[in-house]
């Protein structure tokens, strides 16, 4: 299989490219800086640029590229930048694929469980209604940008991923220092749910979806979401540190603003992988084992 991958230098993309090549697939990495590296092509979503012939002989596209959502305060400009980093690139790819005579069979496009909004302890599946708020609206626009490919008959799968756990990146890496210092703990009430998946299982799920026939939204999460309080407790246990006191939120709000803190830290989703689960089994379905695995030296 010949697969084009965007976001190939990110947390998921790096390991996905390696996994695809390890099993014998050909991978073309789509990058934003002009390059002469082999198996690499240049694109510029803001300028609407894709290299001619990029998709010749390509069987599938995995689109992961997007800007981080928790790096800076959510000003009007920052939210615009976050939104455009998702909709511009996704729309460019979808339109380019739709306009081809010989089309790749499949597009796997990133999304997130934030599309469901803050839903308390309600169990959410792909059939659940979508939520409100910046993150929910962002994910709706993100998925909608891929519709031209779907309308053109390409099999499109939307990866509604949970928090991806890896010791070397993402949310978990940010939490390691305060927890190792004994300063980690629940955020707010601790009752908000975290839907998560180990990086290794995220990669395996993407490969499964590339090889399978599932289309439309797919929740890519472990089958056992936990509350924020339980997450803090198990992370403290994995690091052999106490995790009793709640995390002080005032300094975080001062730095990042109340809206970011509210939506990314104090709200949550209890998401189940209803469509993925029957045919795919996580290697790490429980958080305790997943944390120990990803934190192994």
Domains of the chain: 2-294 (3.40.50.720)
List the structure tokens of 19: 């996994």
Mean pLDDT (the chain, rounded) = 95
Contact 154, 107 (CB under 8 A): yes
- Predicted TM-score (pTM) of this structure: 0.95
Predicted local confidence at residue 166, as pLDDT: 96
Residues 6+ apart with CB under 8 A from 84: 46
Please state, in angstroms and rounded to a whole number, the distance separating the CA atoms of residues 35 and 69.
27
Burial 99-137 (b: 16+ CB within 10 A, else e): eeeebbebbbbbbbbbbbbbbeeeebebebeebeebbbb
The SS3 of residue 81 is helix
Residue 13's pLDDT is 97
pLDDT computed for residue 175 by the predictor:
93
| pLDDT score of 124 | 98
Percent of the chain with pLDDT over 70: 100
Q: What is the DSSP string of 220-258?
A: ES-S--EEHHHHHHHHHHHTT----SPPP-HHHHHHH-H
pLDDT tens for 12-38 read: 999 999 999 999 999 999 999 887 788
pLDDT digit string, tens, across residues 78-127: 999 999 999 999 999 999 999 999 999 999 999 999 999 999 999 999 99
């Amino acid at each position: 299989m010949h697969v084009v991958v965007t976001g190939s230098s990110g947390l998921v993309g790096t390991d996905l490219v390696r996994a695809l090549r390890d099993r014998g697939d050909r991978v073309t990495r789509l990058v934003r800086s002009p390059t002469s590296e082999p198996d690499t092509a240049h694109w510029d979503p803001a300028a609407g640029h894709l290299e001619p012939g990029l998709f010749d002989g390509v069987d599938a596209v995995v689109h992961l590229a997007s800007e981080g959502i928790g790096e800076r305060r959510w000003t009007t400009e920052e939210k615009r930048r976050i939104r455009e980093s998702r909709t511009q690139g996704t729309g460019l790819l979808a339109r380019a694929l739709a306009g081809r005579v010989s089309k790749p069979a499949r597009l796997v496009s990133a999304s997130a469980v934030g599309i469901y909004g803050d839903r308390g302890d309600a169990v959410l599946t792909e059939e659940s209604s979508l939520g409100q708020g910046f993150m929910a609206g962002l994910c709706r626009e993100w998925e909608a940008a891929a519709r031209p490919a779907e309308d053109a008959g390409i099999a499109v799968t939307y990866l509604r991923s949970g928090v991806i756990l890896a010791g070397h990146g993402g949310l978990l890496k940010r939490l390691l220092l305060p927890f190792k210092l004994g300063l980690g703990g629940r955020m707010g009430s601790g009752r908000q749910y975290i839907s998560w998946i180990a990086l290794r299982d995220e990669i395996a799920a993407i490969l499964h979806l590339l090889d399978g026939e599932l289309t439309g939204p797919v929740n890519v999460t472990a089958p056992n979401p936990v509350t924020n309080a339980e997450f803090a407790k198990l992370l403290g246990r994995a690091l052999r540190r106490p995790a009793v006191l709640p995390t002080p939120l005032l300094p975080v709000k001062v730095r990042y603003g109340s809206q970011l803190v509210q939506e990314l830290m104090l709200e949550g989703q209890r998401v189940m992988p209803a469509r993925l689960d029957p045919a795919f089994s996580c290697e790490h379905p429980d958080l305790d084992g997943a944390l120990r695995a990803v934190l192994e030296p």
